[in-house]
Structure 1
């Protein structure tokens, strides 16, 4: 049995600063002070490099953090060790937050399903996110935010967590249209049940495994098919199809996440119907066989906004090339994102 007790002649400060060995001669450093630990955390972040995460908000500390080394959450947060949390994302583009309100509404619907009560009213959450984006000085990227049952203990029940927690981080990244097509596969990883699929929660292990499965097969990502054989969604995106007679069809949202960008596309796409380029726009149940007969196929998501799909399970979609209607829809969404503030966009004071 290993002896974990310190020898009687060791002083407390010596015990704190020494490196302890194990039966395998692995030495684990013991940090003697918070300043030493902070110094170690800073080693990862060169002062010259561009910060990928220029700002974070934490309700645990009650403010905005600009030092990436300090962007942490408690290990006993229920979201960390039990997955009891929800999240959402909004795009930052040219000084604007795109569809923040739509994402925030879905965020709070997810929190309600997860039985997490926000520590702040909706108006305060929104104000925090706007102020965080301003403080970040980020012109282009994403804003991601979480509601957690909060820190408290390591038990299964959140009853010992005195207060829920709200976190948000700005991610500096490139947001652009995608002109090249990708290959996808049908996932063999079981998809989430409707309760969890319609709630944007942090339990993304099935999503992660489905992407890894696709990458193992040389594909970009995957498509889930439900128990009844109907098309569901991608690992973190919606999927859409254009039929031979130029119908745009998205799978019904009954059992999958109601994508904010997908719903916006459904609002914009009728413009192509008016122009005679599309016959109709709708949501419907679609079998795998019907879907694979489509002439065009695409992923839809906040940061894409549309990603053409040219092959599925090694079978070409249409002629195996990026479709012109897919790009027409991509142009519609992209123009909506960059056109300027309207009912869909939130103006953040522009950063020079």
Structure 2
């Protein structure tokens, strides 16, 4: 029955207008129109407001070879948070992926992202953007791609500070080697499989532990610990992605040292054994920004409750997102 259905459906030739109608019907039947209010595509050379038109060429090497990098920035109260830090990492990733950034100078990328966000009218959510080797052919080498491509999208979302704790598990999905882990690239299959592994086991997310027994990171987040001596420790960034939010947390955390709540702030290798003895634990990432972890592999972290120190760190980051110096006002019209 399935084979007959596929044969009958796949032999149909559709016109340009039929394709457009199908795409528009699909978008009208879900929440895409309100969730994705704007996209930029260098392929078409402008901002797209119709979700039905938010498409990529099938021969783009990011699509069929994974030759692309991406990054993000949170949008809160009409301001983009830490956009410059994310753009800097974005361009470092592109350089390591050997994607030509000459057609897209940093200032041009920044301007495009601000204009796209303004055109969307969205004031809360996030933006995500990609730099690809570009469309051209279906070969492995990108030598046949005439030019790189830049894509971006606004994602409308209502979010708030995380105050409830979650469960974490150690995943058996292999880690990326450092060369790929330290580049924010589109090859996210290990990340996808690790989060699916966690969900299958009733947890929010997974934690990678390397072959030497050191804690690495989560699938889209860094991991933070409060030791019994009240020291904030994050795993060193030499073999994992250097999280912009994690680095901002490290910059803000000394305020709690000055207040006598923390004794020190550090990044270093920490074994899973030592990490499990922490009194508090959290995932740290752009969309959280701090998410307390109260249980790891079925064992409580500390007393198994959301800790005061992680919430104090969360308050620092949340306040920084709302009124700190790394906010860029979006130039909305009207």
Q: Deviations 1:211-243 (Å, cap 9, x if unpaired)?
A: 011111111110001121111000010000001
Residues 31/139 of structure 1: CA separation in 2 closer, same or farther (3 Å cut): farther
User: How do 1:199-278 residues align onto structure 2 when only pairs under 5 Å count?
Assistant: 199-278=183-262
Please identify, of 37-46 and 182-191, the stretch whose mean Cα deviation from structure 2 is larger: 37-46
Residue 138 of structure 1 pairs with residue 122 of structure 2: yes
The SS at the match of 1:206 is: helix
Residue 69 (structure 1) aligns with: 52
The 8 Å contact of residues 119 and 332 in structure 2, kept in 1 or not, is answered as no
Matches within 5 A, 1:2-81: 26-28=8-10, 30-46=12-28, 51-81=34-64
**2:270 is matched with which residue?**
286
Q: Does the CA-based 8 Å contact 1:57-1:64 persist in structure 2?
A: yes
SS of structure 2 residue aligned to 1:276: coil
State the match for 1:6 in structure 2.
none
The structure whose Rg is larger is 1
Which 4+ runs in 1 deviate beyond 6 A? Answer: none
| Separation in 2, partners of 1:279, 1:133 | 41
Deviations 1:241-293 (A, max 9, x none): 00111000000000000000000000000000000000000101000110000
SS in 1 for 2:234: strand
Is 1:105 paired with 2:75? no
Deviation at 1:23, TM superposition (A): 9.4
Q: Using the alignment, how far apart are the partners of 1:250 and 1:161 within structure 2?
A: 40
Cα distance in structure 1, aligned partners of 2:56 and 2:30: 25
Which stretch has the larger CA shift, 50-59 or 195-204? 50-59
SS in 2 for 1:39: helix
Per the TM alignment, residue 25 of structure 1 is displaced from its structure 2 partner at its CA by: 5.4
Distance 1:48 1:312 in 2: 36
Counterparts of 1:71 and 1:80 in 2: how far apart (Å)? 14
- Residue of structure 2 in register with 1:18 after alignment: none
CA distance in 1, matches of 2:128, 2:64: 20
Identify the residue that residue 348 of structure 1 maps to in structure 2.
330
Find the residue that maps to 1:88 and give its secondary structure: strand
Q: Is the 8 A contact 1:139 1:351 kept in 2?
A: no
Post-superposition Cα deviations, 1:269-325, rounded to whole Å, max 9, x if no partner, equal 000000000000010100011000000000000010000000000000000000000
Alignment TM-score, normalising by the size of structure 2: 0.96
Q: Distance in 2 between matches of 1:180 and 1:56?
A: 33
Match of 1:334 among 301, 309, 318: 318
> What TM-score, normalized by structure 1, do the two folds share?
0.91
Q: C-alpha displacement at 1:26, in angstroms?
A: 3.7
Rate the CA distance shift 1:30–1:250 in 2: closer, same or farther, 3 A. same
SS in 2 for 1:166: strand
Deviations 1:306-352 (A, max 9, x none): 00000000000000000000100000000000016x2x111113577
8 Å CA contact 1:96–1:348 kept in 2: the answer is yes
Give 1 or 2: higher helix fraction: 2
Q: CA deviation at 1:47?
A: 8.8
Deviations 1:114-159 (A, max 9, x none): 0001221111011000000000100100100000000000000000
Structure 1 segments unaligned to the other structure (5+ residues): 1-20
Classify the secondary structure of the residue corresponding to 2:35. coil
Tell me how large the CA RMSD over aligned residues is: 1.6
Residue 154 (structure 1) aligns with: 138
Question: Counterpart of 1:17?
Answer: none
More off after superposition, 33-42 vs 324-333:
33-42
Alpha-carbon distance in 2 for matches of 1:296, 1:351:
44
What residue ranges of structure 2 are gaps of 5+ in the alignment? none
